[in-house]
Amino acid sequence: MSAELKKALYNISALADLGQEITSVNAFHQKIQAVLYVITGTFLANKGAILFYDKSENRLNTLTQKGFPPADLDRVNPETLMSLGKNRPCLIGDHPGLAIAGAEILAPLWVRDEFIGALILSGKLTASPYSPEELELLNVIANQIAITISNHALFMDLSDKLEENRKLYEEMRLIYHGTLQAFAAAIDAKDAHTKNHSHRVAKYSAAIARELGWSEHDIEGIYVAGYLHDVGKLAISNELLNKVTPFTPEELAEIKKHSTLSHSITSKIKFPWKNVEDMVWHHHERLDGHGYPDALTQDALSDGVRILTLADSFDAMTTQRPYRKKMDVQTALGELRKCLNSQFDNHIMLVFCRVLDKEIKGDLPAPEILPHLDRASDLSVISSMLEGIIAELSRS
């Protein structure tokens, strides 16, 4: 095999390695340094540099270099380079204004009509001149480097914008949740017997939805619905909400208006989540059609409504109310079980029991239900009951 053919094969191999190096977006600066070493090794140059053009500062910054004095590279005038051919290597000796100690070849880097930077190489260790074939190969390499640097710059710019948008979204999300908590606090202030009820319902609903495999976006939606499900109580008098004696039929009808009032409030908000207003509106519906406000039956009730209904009822049972004492967890589970198929959905009950059982056994990283229950509860008894319900519902 001739020396020329061996060299051509080596150059092709080096160029393939170069392509592999610069297509990665990970550890870009380490990769671009590896690229420079491939190039200097291919052309037997003892010095080299890759510069990047900073448009905002109108200056060239050194991405990586080997052997050149940094001060010399800092003095390279970008406007002089822009007047040269695109990606065409030229002898620096032909352009006195580009004098860099030890540099012999310079290729301005361009992508279409955008100036990207420059590739600079010293003379060869063998002291022989660069051949036309080597200059042609350098032209190909310069094109590839220009595209790589341009893509990286675009990627970083996009990453910066995405990070900026992520931070903005997170700030808006925190404001949103702060507003929800303010609504819930306002409800609590009106109804002293349901303190933190909306917060707990939101937590329970989100835990059930997560166990069902909902997306994080939809989980946040039902969490919001849980916070807002009783917001209509803001329009009902404090005296009625805090009444300790039994309601008259007229008073009960007034209380029941809260779900429609909640819908009236939430339907005016443009939520980024689907069905929030529907879940708020129908959280007192029942599978058997005996709920309110619209007496809907099974097929008309979404999973979100079924989750919120169960979470709301469970929290109401396990907290003190003016008309009855709170139930222990076992009694509340028994009540839910008795009302399956008529008021509550079997599958949602199964998933709820699975979540609570996993929390008791420590199988979930962040418990959402257990922390809000009576600390005096016998967890072993509750877990045994849950296992029985889970086994029963799994067979049905």
Cβ atoms of residues 43 and 138 within 8 Å: yes
Residue 202 contacts residue 223 (beta carbons within 8 Å): yes
Class of domain 191-395: mainly alpha
Give the residue, 253 or 102, on which the prediction is more confident.
253
The CA-based diameter of the chain, rounded to the nearest angstrom, is 106
All CATH 1.10.3210.10 domain ranges in the chain, comma separated: 191-395
Q: What pLDDT, in 10s, does the model give residues 116-173?
A: 888 999 999 988 998 888 888 888 888 888 888 887 777 666 666 667 777 877 877 7
> Is residue 177 pLDDT above 80, yes or no?
no
C-alpha 157/C-alpha 163 separation (Å) is: 10
pLDDT band at residue 13 under the 50/70/90 scheme? low
Are 122 and 69 in contact by the 8 Å Cβ rule? The answer is: no
* 301 pLDDT more than 90: yes
Indicate whether 3 pLDDT > 60: no
Within 10 angstroms of residue 334's Cβ, the number of other Cβ atoms is 15
Q: Closest Cα partner for 244 from 311, 324, 186?
A: 324
Percent of the chain at pLDDT > 90 equals 41
Q: What is residue 96's predicted lDDT score, i.e. its pLDDT? A: 61
* pLDDT tens readout for residues 262-286: 999 888 888 888 899 999 999 999 9
Fold of 3-161: Beta-Lactamase (3.30.450)
Pick the range with the lowest mean pLDDT from 237-241, 338-342, 390-394: 237-241
The per-residue pLDDT of the chain, averaged, comes to 85
Per-residue pLDDT, 192? 66
Q: How far apart are CA 339 and CA 345, in angstroms?
A: 9
Q: What predicted TM-score, i.e. pTM, was given to this entire model?
A: 0.62
Question: Per-residue pLDDT averaged across 68-82, rounded?
Answer: 84
Q: How distant, in Å, are the alpha carbons of 66, 131, 222, 272, 364 from that of 172? A: 47, 61, 18, 12, 29
Q: Do the beta carbons of residue 205 and residue 307 sit within 8 Å? A: yes
What residue ranges of the chain are covered by domains with CATH 3.30.450.40?
3-161
Structure tokens at 103: 């540099």
pLDDT band at 1 (very low <50, low <70, confident <90, very high): very low
- 8 Å CB contact between 191 and 316: no
Cα–Cα distance between 226 and 201 in angstroms, integer? 5
**Between 315 and 90, whose confidence is greater?**
315
pLDDT tens-place string over residues 233-250: 888 888 888 888 888 999
Nearest Cα to Cα of residue 185 among 167, 174, 197 = 197
Q: Peptide bond before 293: cis, by omega within 30 degrees of 0?
A: yes
The b-or-e profile of 312-328 (16+ CB within 10 A means b, else e) is bbbbbbbbeeeeeeebb
Encoded tokens for 23: 């297509």
Higher per-residue pLDDT: 154 or 20: 154
Dump pLDDT digits (tens) for 206-231: 999 999 999 999 999 999 999 999 98
